[in-house]
């Protein structure tokens, strides 16, 4: 069986953001967001994060691969974050994967990631023909959860020891959106937030 072709990195355009391939000029903003305390808290980015690490990272994600598409998010001409679509399987009719994202601190609170997530889901379902996309995060990462909720992801499950985080297995949130699911919130944020807060309270290994 022949190997699947590399996944393209198309430019995706929304009302206020553009998703594009990363370029070398993204190095400075990438290093800034990787050294941001909130990024360090909720991701596994090395810390401290150096320019050399950033160069290696960009060299890896700028080229199309079979397993992952990485877009730079641009708003008002500036780098605003990175969003990834990672393939678990590319079997025709059953293609699936997960989505991951991180916002530059200067772009938080402006709806940037919510719009970017919706663009990537539309690409996965409508262009690539994927069956489902999963979202996962450490319990307590409410910012990530809100972006997923706005895109239509159901209230996540609390899964014990789901994610490895800096050498420790932490409890995680897991939610799946299928290609035929509505891509809009099914309930209010207040309702979802109440469930998430209860998860934080009961988690044995929170993020």
Residue 139: what pLDDT?
97
Residue 2: what pLDDT?
62
Quickly list DSSP for 87-128. EEE--TTT-EEEEEEEE-GGGTTTTHHHHHHHHHHHIIIIIS
Superfamily of domain 12-202: Gcn5-related N-acetyltransferase (GNAT) (3.40.630.30)
Answer for the pair 29, 104: CB distance below 8 angstroms, yes or no: yes
Contacts of 161 (CB under 8 A, 6+ apart): 169, 170, 171, 205
Mean pLDDT (10-residue bins), the chain, 207 residues: 83 98 98 97 96 97 94 97 97 95 96 97 97 98 97 98 95 98 96 98 89
Helix (H) or strand (E) holding 63: none
Q: Which of 188, 179, 97 is nearest to 149 (CA)?
A: 188
Q: From CA 42, how far away is CA 57, in angstroms rounded?
A: 18
Residue count of the chain, please give it: 207
Residue 154: what pLDDT?
97
Q: From CA 49, how far away is CA 30, in angstroms rounded?
A: 10
Residue 206: what pLDDT?
80
Q: From CA 67, how far away is CA 100, in angstroms rounded?
A: 13
Residue 150: strand, helix, or coil: helix
Residue 207: what pLDDT?
75
Contacts of 100 (CB under 8 A, 6+ apart): 83, 84, 86, 136
């Amino acid at each position: 069986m022949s190997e699947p072709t590399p996944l393209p990195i198309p430019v995706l355009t929304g009302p206020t953001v553009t998703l594009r391939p990363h370029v070398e000029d993204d190095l400075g903003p990438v290093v800034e967001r990787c050294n941001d305390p909130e990024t360090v808290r909720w991701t596994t980015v090395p810390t401290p994060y150096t320019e050399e690490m950033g160069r290696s990272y960009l060299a890896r994600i700028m080229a199309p691969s079979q397993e992952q598409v990485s877009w730079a998010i641009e708003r008002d001409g500036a780098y605003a974050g990175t969003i990834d679509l990672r393939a678990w399987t590319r079997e025709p009719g059953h293609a699936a994967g997960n989505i991951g994202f991180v916002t530059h601190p200067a772009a938080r609170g402006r709806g940037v990631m919510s719009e970017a997530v919706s663009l990537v889901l539309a690409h996965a379902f409508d262009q690539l023909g994927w069956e489902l996309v999963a979202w996962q995060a450490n319990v307590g990462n409410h910012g990530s959860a809100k972006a997923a909720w706005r895109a239509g992801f159901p209230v996540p499950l609390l899964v014990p020891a789901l994610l490895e985080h800096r050498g420790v297995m932490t409890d995680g949130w897991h939610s799946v959106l299928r290609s035929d699911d509505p891509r809009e919130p099914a309930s209010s944020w207040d309702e979802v937030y109440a469930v998430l807060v209860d998860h934080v309270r009961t988690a044995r290994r929170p993020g």
